[in-house]
Amino acid sequence: MKSAPRVGPLSHARYEALHVLVRVEQQGAFADIALEHALDKARLDPRDMGLCTEIVYGTLRWRRYLDWRLVAHLDRPLAKLDPWVRALLRLSAYQLLFLDRVPHWAAVDEAVSLARLKARKPGPAEFVNAVLRALTRAPTPPPSPADPVQALAIRFAYPDWIAARWIDRYGLAEAEALMSAMNERPPVSIRANTLRTSRELLARRVRDEELAETRPTALSPDGLIVERGTVGAWAAFADGWCTIQDEASMLIPRLLDPQPDELVADTCAAPGTKATQIAELMRDRGRVIAMDPQAARLKLVGRAAARLGIGIIEAHAGGVATLAPRWAGRCDRALVDAPCSNLGVLRRNPDVKWRRGADDLARMPAKQREILGAAASLVKAGGRLVYATCSLEPEETEQVVHAFLAAHPDWAVDTPLDFPVPPDEAGFVRCVPHRHRTDGFSAIRLIRSPRA
């Protein structure tokens, strides 16, 4: 019996990436969760973990462009291929077109070896070899479509419906800048736990202990961009000196502006990144009511609080509409970090591009309005509420808030003064990737009338 081809260390990284990509496309798995599970199980060394991660996210990020380049060398529709063959061609094309550390011939050989390992018969391996070698010999990409929406969507690897709505809203040049920024590899940023340290002391500790290079974030006073280093392996992380968090996300609790000794509700709290920041801003004095309908994810809030040395967070499983009567009219402040399309965080979750459709933007606002209304019932007269989403789409931002304000005359926009990102005319703080080099976030602060 012929033995299976040996999988070398680089192939092992690609083998795991291949299985993650198939799971994402065929089973609807979330890329970040599927990748985390695969890496935990495979126990790759740090170099191969990095390669696997790069291949998975890069392939998902550029999928439509890769398909466009591959189709020119296929003798059958891409959709007709076996899922694993399609994924193998895509991840190999990503390496050939976007990565340069491995020679093209070696990348093609690795793909052929994986095809032999997967199929145990010559046909798929010969097919993969022929397509990839044709791709490496192609001097230029195929002609772009004449339609400007399709041309931009292919060039930056987006569905037509996203490209069309962004061109309509921002204009062609700014839509291109936004798409380009959303395709960038996001930096790793961390928030200093101000209960235990400062940004400056944290930077000094990780420099001395881990030889890690960092620089201060431009907008958040507590953040650092990690230029080099693996945060999860740091002693400073284990000791609760920091939390991994995007800079735009760090601004949301600061917009809420919680104070020590207050009662504050975080109505969509899991996994606890913003709830713990709220507690830090409160100097761990008062109470933070952390709610989330997903009990399993809510456990992450407790773990994060324990690591950071925070004692004021109370976790309560359930949706805010169910739990609100317990604290109705008692909270000084409430945060609604609403579930949304996630179209503002495509650089971190590129699979969302292929998971969402225009109908999602028609469906989600009803749930967002329900959560906002229930959260508002928690807040006492004169109290404040922040509504935030990791989306820039009007259906999930201003339209939700405008509908809420029309139905609740005792609430008004509470525009902050001297905020790092100035609010727009509607009162929204918007972090936009191509302008602020952060994830895309929209947030607005509201205030309840003292006479409510």
Q: Give the residue ranges of DSSP H helices in 231-272.
A: 235-238, 247-256
- CA–CA distance from 389 to each of 160, 318, 428 (Å)? 23, 20, 11
Output helix, strand, coil percentages for the chain, rounded to the nearest 5: 55, 15, 35
Residues with catalytic annotation? 390
Virtual torsion, Cα 296, 300, 305, 308, nearest 10 deg: 160
Beta-carbon neighbour count of residue 419 at 10 Å? 15
Q: What is the H or E stretch that residue 383 is in?
A: strand 379-389
Buried b (16+ CB within 10 A) or exposed e, 71-93: eebbeeeeeebeebbbbbbbbbb
Strands 188-192 and 223-228: antiparallel
- CA–CA distance from 417 to each of 282, 378, 421, 450 (Å)? 20, 25, 10, 20
Asked whether 282 and 260 are in contact (CB, 8 A), the reply is yes
